[in-house]
Structure 1
Amino acid sequence: APGAQRVPAPGACPSPSPAAPAAPGADSRPSGARSAGLAGAPRHVTGTGPWNRPEYRQRRERNNSAVRKSRDKAKKRNQEMQQKLVELSSENEKLHKKIEQLTRDLSSLRQFFKQLPSSSFLQAGTASSGIDCR
């Protein structure tokens, strides 16, 4: 009929463009759909997909075991490093205290020798050893 509106076939018209274009790589699905994988797809698919093949399951189990082993190894290594850090920190503190004590001892000895008359040191050395240091 002349004057009647024509209705386009479903899917023939492009969907309206969003007001602001999405960033490249941005996912326009709701966050729940993103986290669930594909929107509307069931989480546990039964059938003859590649994930149901014995070879795939064996590979996944081996991979899971390797990942677990690697994580355990990393955790053990981290614990050992933490223990080593504690031990070395303790040793470092002891060494610093020893340096402080030796520095004090050295200072005391320097003061002691400064107070002695220079000739008395030589006389004491020659008298006790019988060696002439002149």
Structure 2
Amino acid sequence: MSYEHQYMYQCLGILDAKAQALLAYDGILMAAASIVLTAFSGGVTSGTLVIAMALASSGLSSALCLTVIWVHWTDTAEFDRAGDSFTGLLSIRNRRTLGYRLAWVAAQLAAVLLVVGIPLQRGLG
């Protein structure tokens, strides 16, 4: 396997690991938002809506992470066309990098919404 192909597979492996970690973070955010919504239920308030938006944002981030860690196997025919295979791997890497970045932004938005929504939900805002 050429250096370029090894590099691409390393990049894809790094993206997989980062997406798995972000998926775990999203799970924590979703659990925290669910607990806050349950513990401080008192009707629909602005805090409830903000926390629900945090829950939706972390759910979106999770869905985007799942597209990043999608399995891709190089088939046998691609080994004969190494140049085409490299271009394909580059396209996959770029698409997954974009997906990861969008997931990261959505997760950070969820965290900010959660931090803002908790005081609003408790009536402290």
TM-score calculated relative to the size of structure 2: 0.33
Larger relative contact order, structure 1 or 2 (CA cutoff 8 Å, min sep 6):
2
Bigger Cα Rg: 1
More helix by share: 2
